[in-house]
């Protein structure tokens, strides 16, 4: 079975390619490498000892994309490609709409033309907006707080309309909570271009001396220690979630269904810092500062739907996530 993976060199895409190859799928990935590196492809091969096909392709370029579709018959698409920085999307909304929306429409049109009827879409818990009713269930009200989130919600809507209009599609939408960690080999992990926004890459910048101090945004939230609570999930667990979603798409189900992928447990910023210090035997220089605009106190998933229908449960602990993130970061530093 051959799976087409868009954005397969990115953080979650690369770990999913490893899992797909390990479980015997044939993989073709394409990526424009705007926020990833071609080196990742050789690392995927090194980890798995298996070969995969790779194309450099921008999904906005429909002609180039069609060449990828003509190369092989694909049984499913896993669609990761897209810009993903919340702050950048606020500053450059049109760039986000052009890339994420036009690119996705091109991709879905080609899926229709070449009969790639199983689609797994990489969505985000951002589609729940600023909801305060935790844990979040898939049927919670959806809303947006920034252009990035709007692209995810619009793409979910496009897929819903496709599933209504064309009965041959089986579409699985996966709403990720906070993916961190890295492959245990230390060969692939999160490697954002520029200054990162998210907690773990920023924490790693402090550990390796690229930043002096980690700003902890808010110490006065109504949470057990006053800092923000999130549902962190190890990226290799998340990758496994995609395999479960593929199996579901091939199980005879048609239409569209959405699932939360998280651990279902809230972890505070201070808890994450303390765990990181303990398992890696390092000290993190941090300071509690004002809240970051747009942040909610708590965000964590109800994971019962993924468990009962997909048979998916995240297994790795916060300790594993901290250990693996650190290993990847130090390995990269030592190679410089």
Angstrom distance (rounded) from CA 263 to CA 232:
7
Residue of 6, 57, 11, 43 whose CA lies nearest to 27 = 6
**Site track 287-316 with ligand UFG (rule: CB under 6 A), x = hit:** -----x--x---x-----------------
Residue 90 is a binding residue for ligand UFG (CB under 6 A)? no
CB 242 within 8 A of CB 316: no
Residue 141 or 252: which CB sits closer to ligand UFG? 141
How distant, in Å, are the alpha carbons of 129, 183, 328 from that of 273? 26, 20, 17
Residue 4 or 262: which CB sits closer to ligand UFG? 262
Residue 275 is a binding residue for ligand UFG (CB under 6 A)? no
To the query of whether residue 148 is one of the catalytic residues in this protein, the response is yes
187: helix, strand or coil: coil
Residue showing the smallest CB distance to ligand UFG in the complex: 228
Determine which residue in the list 118, 230, 316, 323 makes contact with ligand UFG, applying CB under 6 A: 230
How distant, in Å, are the alpha carbons of 7, 30, 59 from that of 55? 10, 5, 11
Residue of 15, 4, 9, 80 whose CA lies nearest to 238 = 15
Residue 35 is a binding residue for ligand UFG (CB under 6 A)? no
Residue 125 is a binding residue for ligand UFG (CB under 6 A)? yes
How distant, in Å, are the alpha carbons of 191, 212, 216, 274 from that of 290? 27, 18, 8, 20
Applying CB under 6 A, the site for ligand UFG has a residue count of 20
Q: Say how many C-beta atoms besides its own lie within 10 A of residue 116's C-beta.
A: 21
Angstrom distance (rounded) from CA 63 to CA 70:
11
DSSP classification of residue 114: T
Determine which residue in the list 2, 50, 202, 265 makes contact with ligand UFG, applying CB under 6 A: 202
Residue 97 is a binding residue for ligand UFG (CB under 6 A)? no
Angstrom distance (rounded) from CA 211 to CA 137:
37
Residue 269 is a binding residue for ligand UFG (CB under 6 A)? yes
Instruction: List the structure tokens of 102.
Output: 């036009």
Residue 75 or 191: which CB sits closer to ligand UFG? 191
Determine which residue in the list 217, 219, 257, 330 makes contact with ligand UFG, applying CB under 6 A: 217
Residue 243 or 272: which CB sits closer to ligand UFG? 272
Applying CB under 6 A, which part among 101-109, 214-222, 239-247, 258-266 lies near ligand UFG? 214-222
CB 45 within 8 A of CB 53: no
**Site track 68-87 with ligand UFG (rule: CB under 6 A), x = hit:** ------------------x-
Which residue is catalytic, options 25, 96, 148, 176?
A: 148
CB 172 within 8 A of CB 251: no
Active site residues: 148
Contacts with ligand UFG by CB under 6 A lie at 86, 124-126, 149, 177-178, 197-199, 202, 215-217, 228, 230, 269, 292, 295, 299
């Amino acid at each position: 079975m051959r799976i087409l993976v868009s954005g397969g060199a990115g953080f979650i895409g690369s770990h999913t390619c490893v899992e797909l190859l390990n479980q015997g799928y044939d993989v073709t990935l394409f990526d424009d490498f705007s926020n990833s590196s071609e080196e990742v492809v050789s690392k995927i091969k090194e980890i798995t000892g298996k070969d995969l096909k790779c194309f450099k392709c921008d999904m906005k370029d429909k002609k180039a994309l069609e060449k990828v579709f003509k190369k092989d018959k694909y049984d499913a698409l896993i669609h990761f490609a897209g810009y993903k920085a919340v702050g950048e999307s606020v500053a450059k909304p049109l760039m986000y709409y052009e890339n994420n929306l036009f690119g996705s429409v091109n991709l879905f049109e080609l899926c229709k033309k070449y009969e790639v009827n199983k689609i797994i879409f990489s969505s985000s818990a951002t589609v729940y907006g600023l909801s305060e009713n935790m844990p979040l269930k898939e049927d919670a009200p959806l809303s947006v707080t920034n252009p990035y989130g709007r692209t995810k919600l619009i793409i979910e809507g496009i897929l819903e309309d496709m599933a209504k209009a064309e009965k041959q599609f089986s579409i699985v939408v996966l709403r990720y909570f906070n993916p961190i960690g890295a492959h245990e080999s230390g060969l692939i992990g999160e490697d954002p271009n520029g200054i990162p926004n998210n907690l773990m890459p920023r924490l790693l910048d402090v550990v390796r001396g690229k930043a002096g101090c980690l700003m902890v945004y808010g110490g006065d939230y109504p949470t057990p220690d006053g800092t923000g609570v999130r549902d962190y999930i190890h990226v290799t667990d998340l990758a496994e979630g995609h395999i479960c979603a593929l199996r579901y798409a091939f199980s005879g189900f048609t239409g569209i269904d959405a699932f939360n992928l998280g651990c279902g447990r809230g972890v505070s910023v201070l808890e994450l810092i303390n765990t990181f210090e303990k398992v890696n035997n390092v000290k993190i220089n941090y300071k509690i500062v004002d809240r970051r605009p747009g942040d909610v106190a708590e965000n964590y998933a109800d994971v019962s739907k993924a468990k009962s229908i997909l048979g998916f449960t995240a297994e790795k602990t916060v300790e594993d996530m901290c250990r693996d993130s650190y290993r990847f970061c130090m390995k990269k530093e030592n190679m410089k």
